[in-house]
Chains A and B, each alone.
Chain A
């Protein structure tokens, strides 16, 4: 069975602190994708990153970075020098199967981590 676990329900930090959001996944697929989405108070889900299972290279985008480790089935998300605008709920998701076959597999979602960045 596929499963995504975000053990941290809520995190509160002070502005400019670094913060890491944890994501642990379970899957038997050999090919899969991992995602992070941001949901600000407005409710709309904003796509942040997609990582495929064959690419374990870490990625950095501005203040955001992602650490993918297949050995521990983790795909953690770090925000450096957090800002108030980073306050949101962050979701990790997993999609498996042969996406190249044109079969867009549904996403399996974690329950989300609510991040509050205080001034």
Chain B
């Protein structure tokens, strides 16, 4: 079955450590996205990528980095520069021009 895989579902890290969240899709979608969700704040876009080897900052990119070396993969690194990294992170993908966005199950990151 086609879909988006995010692992792990729960992730704990110590303050000051970088951490990388995995996102893999087998939908053959060109575009991929990372969103952050905090309680009561809806979804905010961190980074997005329309095509391999290209990505753009979203609304809250500071303290995050991404790479897009393969079409299927769009890992997100939460760096120590991110002031408040504890949140629920959602990866998504879509085919450009369709606006039909599919989401992964999410990773809940807790920084202790």
Do the two chains belong together in a single complex? yes
> What residues of chain A have their CB less than 8 Å away from a CB belonging to chain B?
33, 35, 37, 42-47, 50, 91, 95, 99-107, 109-112
Q: List 9 A-B contacts (CB under 8 A).
A: A43-B90, A44-B103, A45-B92, A99-B97, A104-B99, A106-B45, A109-B42, A109-B43, A110-B42
Interface pair A99/B99, CB less than 8 Å apart: yes
Residues of the A chain whose Cβ atoms lie less than 8 Å from the Cβ of B96: 102-104
- Separation in Å of the A60 CB from the closest CB of chain B? 20
Residue of A nearest to B6 (CB): A44
- A104 vs B41: C-alpha distance in the bound complex, in angstroms? 23
Residues of chain A contacted by B2 (CB below 8 angstroms): none
Residues of B that sit less than 8 Å from A by CB: 31, 33, 40-45, 48, 50, 58, 88, 90, 92, 94-106, 108
CA distance A46 to B33 in the complex (A): 15
Summed over the interface, the residue pairs from A and B with CB atoms below 8 Å come to a total of 61
Using A43-B90, A91-B42 as known contacts, list a sample of 5 further A-B pairs with CB atoms less than 8 Å apart, ordered by residue number in A: A35-B101, A43-B106, A50-B99, A106-B33, A106-B48
Determine if B43 and A106 form an interchain contact, defined as CB atoms under 8 angstroms apart: no
CA distance A100 to B98 in the complex (A): 8
Q: Residue on A with the closest CB to B102?
A: A47
Partner of A104, one of B31, B44, B58: B31
Please name the residue on chain B nearest to A45 by beta carbon: B103
Contacts of B94 in A (CB 8 A): 104
